[in-house]
Amino acid sequence: MTKNIVIIGMPGAGKTSVAEAVAEKLHRKCIDIDTEIIKKHGNIAKIFEQQGEKAFRAYEKDAVIEAAKQEAVVIATGGGSLLDPENTEALKRTGTLYWITRPLEELATDGRPLSKGGIETLKKLYRDRKSIYEAAADEIVENTTIEEAARAILAAEKL
Ligand code: S3P
């Protein structure tokens, strides 16, 4: 069985771009968890606003569990996809987890409901989540550029 390549990390760290670059190089399918949620339930900021974070996390869990059932795909998680230990377990069972890191000052914040409070909010989010990413990650990959991060993942996969 070929394991999935799973990209984890803070919101705005470049997970989707790195996942797409890796998928393209390997001619594999890329599943973006946020995109899957949007396809089924619409705009993420609106979900947070109108239904609350709890509803969003339930949609996210469905998407994560579904994606983790695949084989040999590249999965871009959402920044909060590992908050539920069952999600982490499902992803780890079928995949290798790559933690994409980027300085907090450089994280993209556009359209992200949990990032709109600026750097102080991101610092707190990072404090809360660092240990989760750390514990789950098989490898840490610095996002200096998308291309370099993608190459580092291919090298770690020995591909
Ligand atoms: C979230 C990150 C977002 C999106 C949602 C919640 C989070 O995804 O899933 O806004 O809790 O960190 P990205 O990490 O792709 O921005």
Q: Find out whether the beta carbon of 34 lies less than 6 Å from any atom of ligand 1.
A: yes
Strand, coil or helix: 9: coil
**Ligand 1 centroid to 55 CA: how many Å?**
14
The CATH number assigned to the domain holding 104 equals 3.40.50.300
56 domain residue, yes or no: yes
Instruction: Quote the number of domains for the chain.
Output: 1
12 domain residue, yes or no: yes
143 domain residue, yes or no: yes
Strand partners, 91: none
| Residue nearest to ligand 1 atom 15, measured at CA | 78
Triad 58, 59, 60: Cα angle to 5°: 90
121 domain residue, yes or no: yes
Q: Find out whether the beta carbon of 9 lies less than 6 Å from any atom of ligand 1.
A: no
135 burial (CB, 10 Å; 0-12 / 13-18 / 19+) is: exposed
8 A C-beta contact, residue 81 and residue 8: yes
| Residue nearest to ligand 1 atom 16, measured at CA | 11
**Ligand 1 centroid to 63 CA: how many Å?**
13
Q: Find out whether the beta carbon of 140 lies less than 6 Å from any atom of ligand 1.
A: no
Which residue range is the domain that position 34 belongs to?
4-154
- ipTM, interface predicted TM-score of the complex: 0.98
Spell out the per-residue pLDDT of the chain, length 159, in tens: 899 999 999 999 999 999 999 999 999 999 999 999 999 999 999 999 999 999 999 999 999 999 999 999 999 999 999 999 999 999 999 999 999 999 999 999 998 999 988 999 999 999 999 999 999 999 999 999 999 999 999 999 998
pTM tops 0.95, yes or no: yes
159 domain residue, yes or no: no
Of 69, 67, 85, 61, nearest to 19 by C-alpha is 67
64 domain residue, yes or no: yes
